[in-house]
Amino acid sequence: MKFSIERAVLLKAVSQAQSVVERRNTIPILANVLIEAADDFVQFRATDLDIEVVDKATAMVERAGATTVSAVLLHEIVRKLPDGALVSISADAATGRLTVSAGRSTFSLATLPKDDFPVMATAEYAANFSAPAPVLRRLFEKSKFAISTEETRYYLNGVYMHTAKAEDGAVLRCVATDGHRLARIDAPMPDGAGDMPGVIVPRKTVAELRKLLEDDDMIIAVSVSETKLRFATPQLTLTSKVIDGTFPDYTRVIPTGNAKRLEMDAAEFARAVDRVATVSSERSRAVKLALDEDRLILSVNAPDSGAAEEELAVAYGDEPMEIGFNAKYLQEIAAQVDRENAVVMLNSSADPALVREGDDLSAIYVVMPMRV
C-alpha cells in the first residue's frame, strides 16, 4: 500500500478515528485505525465495538492495500506536521512497518494485520430517511446535557430518538433525562422516518455525531433498526449500536397543569444564577427563587461561607411563591434558550417546573425543584 494525501484531509479523517477508539482498551487492535487504499481514495475505519466510523478521503493511490496502525499515534503525528504538507504513507509488508513521511520528517510505525480488525456486521435497517444536518444537530445538541451518567440506569445513558405525535402533527423527537431534568426536542418528521423504531442513542455516539453534523449544508442519510443506527455523509459513515433497554414513559413526567407563568431573559437569568451561586460551597448548589409581581429575587444562603441575593426584572403576574433549584440545572437549561425569552411554568415549590423558549413547544425542558 502506498499513497499521498493532503495533511488537512488526513487530519480530519484521522481525528474522527482517534476519538472513537477506546483509550483504555485491552484489545490492541481496537486502538488501531484500519487504512484501506484503493482507486482514488483511502478509507479510515475505527471502532470500539459499539461505534464504527468510516472516513473516506481522496488521495493519490500508487499501490492499493490495507493495514492497521495506532490511531492516536497517527493523529498526533499528522497534527504536528506543518499545514499544507503533502503526506506520503506506505506499508512495507516485509518489515510490518508503516512509513509516514512529509517534507524532511519520516516516521516508521508498528502495524497489526488488517485481518484482525473487527468490522461491524451490516444490519437490515427498518427505516431510511434523510435530514439536514442542522435539524439533527439541534435534536441532539439541545438534549444531550440531560443524559444520565448513572450506570445503574443504563437506559438513561443516551438520547431516546423516536417518532411521536405533537400538537401540530407527527415529529421526530429526542428525549434525554437523568431523573433531575428532562429535555424533549422535536423536529418535523422527515419523509421515510415514520417506520422508525424508537432507539436510545448512546452518549458517546451523540458526542461523535457532533463533527459529522457540523456542516450546515450537509444532508445526512439516517438508517435505523432495533439494534443499530447509521448516520452518513458522502465522506463519513458512523454506525452505532443502540442501548438495549426500555426508555421510561417520559410523557407522565411532563407537567401539564402548571399555571404560573414566569418570563425572562434567559442569558441574564443564567448570569445572575451563576453570580449568586458563587457563595455556595456545596457541590449541589441550591438557589432560591422568590417570585413576586414582575420581580424575581434569586438568593443563596450558605451558612459556612456567606449569602448572596440578586433581583431581576421579569414578567410574572401570579401569586407570590418561592421555589429552589440546583444552580447547575438552571444554567444548563437557560443555556439552551437562545432566541427568545425563557418561559417557566410553575405549580408549587414541590412540583417540577417546565421551561420553554417563548411559546415554542418544539423544545421543552422539565426540572425538579430542590428543597431550600
Partner 1 sequence: MPSLCRDCFTQFDAQPRCPACASPRAARHDELFDLSIAHMDCDAFYASVEKRDNPDLANKPVIIGGGRRGVVSTACYVARIRGVRSAMPMFQALKLCPDAVVIKPRMQVYADVSRQIRAMMQDLTPQIEPLSLDEAFMDLSGTARLHGAPPAVMLARLVDRMRRELGVTGSIGLSHNKFLAKIASDLDKPRGFSVIGRADTAEFLRGKPVRLIWGVGAAGQQALSRAGIETFDDLLRWDSADLTARFGSMGTRLWHLARGADNRPVSPNRPVKSVSKETTFAEDTADADLLDGHLWRLSEQVSAAAKAKGIAGRVVTLKLKQTRLKSITRQISQDDPVQLADRMYRLARALLVPELGKAPFRLIGVGLSDLVPDDQAERGGDLLDPQAAQRAGAERASDAIRARFGPDAIQKGRSLR
Contact residues for partner 1 (CB under 8 A)? 150-153, 177, 179-182, 248, 250, 252-253, 282-284, 286, 324, 326, 350, 352, 366, 368-372
Candidates 63, 16, 71; CA nearest to 211 is: 16
User: Which residues have CB under 8 Å from 213's CB, separation 6+?
Assistant: 133, 134, 136, 137, 140, 220, 231
Rounded to whole angstroms, the Cα distance separating 219 from 211 reads: 14
Residue with cell 519520516: 106
Min dist CB 248 to partner 1, Å, is 5
Min dist CB 127 to partner 1, Å, is 27
Cell numbers standing for residue 12: 480530519
Min dist CB 249 to partner 1, Å, is 9
Question: Closer to partner 1 at the Cβ: 200 or 368?
Answer: 368
Min dist CB 282 to partner 1, Å, is 5
Question: Closer to partner 1 at the Cβ: 189 or 367?
Answer: 367
Candidates 277, 328, 279, 284; CA nearest to 303 is: 279
Question: Closer to partner 1 at the Cβ: 30 or 366?
Answer: 366
Residue pair 337/355 in contact (Cβ under 8 Å)? The answer is yes
Rounded to whole angstroms, the Cα distance separating 312 from 284 reads: 23
Question: Closer to partner 1 at the Cβ: 90 or 177?
Answer: 177
Q: Which helix (H) or strand (E) holds 324?
A: strand 321-326
Rounded to whole angstroms, the Cα distance separating 101 from 41 reads: 18
Rounded to whole angstroms, the Cα distance separating 190 from 206 reads: 19
Question: Closer to partner 1 at the Cβ: 179 or 320?
Answer: 179
Question: Closer to partner 1 at the Cβ: 33 or 287?
Answer: 287
Residues listed for the chain: 372
Candidates 357, 367, 369; CA nearest to 185 is: 357
Residue pair 55/12 in contact (Cβ under 8 Å)? The answer is yes
Question: Closer to partner 1 at the Cβ: 107 or 154?
Answer: 154
Residue pair 195/172 in contact (Cβ under 8 Å)? The answer is no
User: Which residues have CB under 8 Å from 121's CB, separation 6+?
Assistant: none
User: Which residues have CB under 8 Å from 267's CB, separation 6+?
Assistant: 334, 338
Min dist CB 183 to partner 1, Å, is 11
Question: Closer to partner 1 at the Cβ: 8 or 254?
Answer: 254
Min dist CB 287 to partner 1, Å, is 12
Question: Closer to partner 1 at the Cβ: 41 or 250?
Answer: 250
Question: Closer to partner 1 at the Cβ: 188 or 255?
Answer: 255
Min dist CB 349 to partner 1, Å, is 11
Min dist CB 290 to partner 1, Å, is 17
What count of other Cβ atoms lies within 10 Å of the Cβ of residue 46? 26
Rounded to whole angstroms, the Cα distance separating 208 from 12 reads: 13
Min dist CB 112 to partner 1, Å, is 33
Min dist CB 365 to partner 1, Å, is 11
User: Which residues have CB under 8 Å from 167's CB, separation 6+?
Assistant: 361
